[in-house]
Structure 1
């Protein structure tokens, strides 16, 4: 049911009088010119209405009173603003859970709330009653960026104030690189109502090209510097670009140390040499941007090289703050128009021309955007408050008088701030499973054959105590090896293998592997293995085992099978068959 009630046609209105007439009736009663009854007749206002207004009992608010009073709602607004300043703004679900926690701690049960959780209509009415709150799309930032403290920013501006003393805006430049992709991004289109998917045929790829932008404090854009992802450069990739643009390439498509030096000497240094007095260059603190030759040249040309605080480019980098967003928006428009004319992904031959079109589209507002970036980042004019208002405060939150409200706020903030890191981030080995085929345990563990008592594969005990309690020396191969799996030649119960008939499938053998080390000296390693298949041409398929937790006489099959096809000459000895235990399973047939 909607909270904002609308009168239906044919029903009487609540108010049949003009509010100004009510004020005149009150004045007449207060001055003693009329009684309540006379004023009601003259101004056509109910007598009880005039009386209630006179006694202060009349309320301008109609309808049922709010579930939470004004003070409680103001505390909720204060808590939401505090959470947003910490970098953890509430979403609708957070607000509803926060109200539920508060009501539960007060011991209040609201019948119209399900389990004390307010509905969507209450949220809409709450936001309408508190216009100081606004709903906006969030910009997600990493936790490392959120850890930038006011103390770090103040220290940065203390040093910058000394460096910028007496430097005109034209003598200050900020540089930053960005990647320009071949994807025009999503766009709203018109489709049939009820369609679940709105697809648009438009070729795109994941490729991107790095471009170094640099702007001065007075709004001038320096020549661009483009880096392709390629091993070589071709003349067709350099034609038709903006005037003065430089081109380069790298295997990764990003700026490295030598490329950054080339940009500095071809773009930044010529600009500074045209300026008199002290100069300042500001950029992020990447290792590739720190070069002995660059710093030496800066000292010789009276250029101060300034690094931004770590993880703070989203608030301290002028180009990041005010320039790159309009650049990306304009690029999507330019790229979309090009893709409407041509089929396929954007080739590198077309990139310079599109980059020139991009700058032409940005030209009317580009100088103003660059200046706005320096102003918003607090550099020109120097103003730390421009940055501090975007930084998460390090001091504790302001206390709220309501104890239940404070406890609820602490709990909901703990859920967001005390989340643990993801365990076991390793990706592991890629599974070779055809697309569309369901994955089974055999795809992950090829050697596993489930039994009635073993539904889940356990490659081995989870700890040393379990190993000692569930297996013994009789359960494993009666062999000794060092940490490098080299089998001791003094091992007993070894039967030399000279012919193919000396071994059978499922026998445990010692396989010899000969290799050359770094000094090209021939070395020999030995492995315990299990025979999986015997071919007619004296070739044998074996599955090698590994030591269990650096044990010298205990071996298990690895989770990822180590299957090898070897010649008979590499199989030196046959071992007595051990008792099959978990972690040692028969192998499937090999074709």
Structure 2
């Protein structure tokens, strides 16, 4: 982000220079290192915990999964995987350059507003409407708005957590109609295989909700190895979200030189 901004500034200033005054500027990694050292910026990293995986159980599951697909005659368009992930949607990146004197990213603790996303896609790469669980049913920006017109399936819970009731609601009111419409468009029969992990919010009863949807639970403690969406897809989604958010912040600051990053985030997310 710093390198992109430096290039855009260079391009802007270069327009006012004569040909003999112009110099090549690439905003290289070497330039970034020198910039960080010159202004005594520090790179902070906040690390998280990782759970241990059951390697033995994970090694047995693929063969079982293959058998289910072959016996059921499923094609990639009919094989779906879903997973939940928490998103601190106001949060700055884990690695943030700040003044050395501060030692802690400004506002990092202040913006911990969390929501839960339900991401779902099939083996052919089709993505259905995400589910979203927020702590309020009607936050200020959505008052008097039709939630069925949102690009997400809106749900609420005081702690913004996925519960068994909410998951079943998402399954019946979002997953089923979305998948039905998709398969009908593809001229495929409504015969679906859904792979989910054994999280507390995923009730066993979901197996009996629809006779055309076969639900397979991943073995306990194998999510990091077997969960398809956990193999870098959710990570890429969050990286893209952060990049797009910073792009909007950058554009807003370019439009109003009196604004700053944290001020913009606070203003735009509390109105």
In the alignment, which residue of structure 2 is the partner of 1:295?
Answer: 207
Question: What is the alpha-carbon distance in structure 2 between the residues aligned to residue 336 and residue 279 of structure 1?
Answer: 38
Q: 1:242 to 1:283 in 2, by over 3 A?
A: farther
Question: What is the alpha-carbon distance in structure 2 between the residues aligned to residue 281 and residue 320 of structure 1?
Answer: 15
Structure 1 residue 272, shift from structure 2 partner: 3.5
In the alignment, which residue of structure 2 is the partner of 1:271?
Answer: 178
Q: 1:200 to 1:209 in 2, by over 3 A?
A: same
Q: Which residue, 60, 76, 84 being the options, matches 1:155?
A: 60
Q: Which residue, 222, 238, 244 being the options, matches 1:312?
A: 222
User: Map of 1:263-412 to 2, 5 A cutoff?
Assistant: 263-274=170-181, 275=183, 276=189, 278-290=191-203, 292=205, 294-299=206-211, 302-338=212-248, 341=252, 342=264, 344=266, 347=269
Structure 1 residue 271, shift from structure 2 partner: 3.3
Structure 2 contact 197–223 (Cα < 8 Å) conserved: yes
Structure 1 residue 164, shift from structure 2 partner: 1.0
- Name the SS of the counterpart of 2:241 in structure 1: helix
* 1:11-39 residue CA offsets vs partner (Å, 9 max, x unmatched): xxxxxxxxxxxxxxxxxxxxxxxxxxxxx
In the alignment, which residue of structure 2 is the partner of 1:183?
Answer: 91
- Name the SS of the counterpart of 1:347 in structure 2: helix
Structure 2, unpaired ranges of 5+: 1-46, 184-188, 253-263
Structure 1 residue 173, shift from structure 2 partner: 0.8
Structure 1 residue 206, shift from structure 2 partner: 1.6
- Note if 1:249 corresponds to 2:156: yes
* 1:238-292 residue CA offsets vs partner (Å, 9 max, x unmatched): 6799864211111111111121111101222113334316320011112331253
Question: What is the alpha-carbon distance in structure 1 between the residues aligned to residue 190 and residue 96 of structure 2?
Answer: 51
Structure 1 residue 142, shift from structure 2 partner: 2.4
Question: What is the alpha-carbon distance in structure 1 between the residues aligned to residue 113 and residue 195 of structure 2?
Answer: 29
In the alignment, which residue of structure 2 is the partner of 1:141?
Answer: 50
In the alignment, which residue of structure 2 is the partner of 1:490?
Answer: none
Superposition misfits of 4+ residues, deviation over 6 angstroms = 239-242
- Name the SS of the counterpart of 1:331 in structure 2: helix
* 1:23-64 residue CA offsets vs partner (Å, 9 max, x unmatched): xxxxxxxxxxxxxxxxxxxxxxxxxxxxxxxxxxxxxxxxxx
In the alignment, which residue of structure 1 is the partner of 2:44?
Answer: none
For CA contacts below 8 A with separation 6 or more, give which structure has more relative contact order.
2
Q: 1:239 to 1:336 in 2, by over 3 A?
A: farther
Give the number of the structure whose residues are more often helix, by fraction: 2
* 1:534-556 residue CA offsets vs partner (Å, 9 max, x unmatched): xxxxxxxxxxxxxxxxxxxxxxx
Structure 2 contact 147–154 (Cα < 8 Å) conserved: no
Question: What is the alpha-carbon distance in structure 2 between the residues aligned to residue 251 and residue 211 of structure 1?
Answer: 15
User: Map of 1:18-37 to 2, 5 A cutoff?
Assistant: none
Structure 1 contact 184–335 (Cα < 8 Å) conserved: no
Q: 1:323 to 1:178 in 2, by over 3 A?
A: same
Number of residue pairs matched by the alignment: 201
Question: What is the alpha-carbon distance in structure 2 between the residues aligned to residue 255 and residue 190 of structure 1?
Answer: 35
Q: TM-score normalised to the size of structure 1?
A: 0.31
- Name the SS of the counterpart of 1:248 in structure 2: strand
- Name the SS of the counterpart of 1:210 in structure 2: strand
- Name the SS of the counterpart of 1:222 in structure 2: coil
Higher alpha-carbon Rg: 1
Structure 1, unpaired ranges of 5+: 1-137, 350-591
CA RMSD of aligned residues (A): 3.1
Question: What is the alpha-carbon distance in structure 2 between the residues aligned to residue 330 and residue 304 of structure 1?
Answer: 32
Question: What is the alpha-carbon distance in structure 2 between the residues aligned to residue 141 and residue 318 of structure 1?
Answer: 17
